[in-house]
């Protein structure tokens, strides 16, 4: 979590599972700092919990075009 707190991110591509653990704490930290992120997962979006739930979502496998479209949506 110190990486999230000490690093400047424009946006983050966040896998829902990090080393077989939920990425929910990372998503919560990103939300708290106002950093846009997209969750990617092989699971269904309705299986996501906490800060992962309701976040922009891409199902694996996804195309580069889908990812770019999602990232372009982050631009203000």
Q: pLDDT 10s digit of each residue in the chain, 76 long? A: 557 778 888 899 999 998 889 999 999 999 999 999 999 999 899 888 889 999 999 999 999 999 999 999 887 5
Which secondary structure element, helix H or strand E, spans residue 67, and what is its range? helix 64-72
Q: Give the per-residue pLDDT at 20.
A: 87
Q: Give the per-residue pLDDT at 19.
A: 87
Contacts of 51 (CB under 8 A, 6+ apart): 24, 25, 27, 28, 30, 31
Nearest to 25 by CA among 55, 61, 51: 51
- Tell which CATH architecture fits domain 2-63: 3-Layer(aba) Sandwich (3.40)
Handedness of CA 64, 65, 70, 72 (dihedral sign): positive
- pTM (2 decimals)? 0.84
């Amino acid at each position: 979590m110190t990486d999230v707190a000490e690093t400047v991110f424009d946006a983050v591509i966040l896998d829902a599972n990090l080393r077989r653990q939920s990425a929910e704490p990372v998503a919560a930290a990103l939300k708290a700092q106002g950093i846009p992120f997209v969750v990617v997962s092989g699971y269904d979006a309705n299986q996501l919990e906490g800060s992962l739930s309701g976040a922009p979502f891409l199902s694996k496998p996804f195309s580069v075009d889908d990812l770019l479209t999602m990232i372009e949506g982050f631009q203000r």
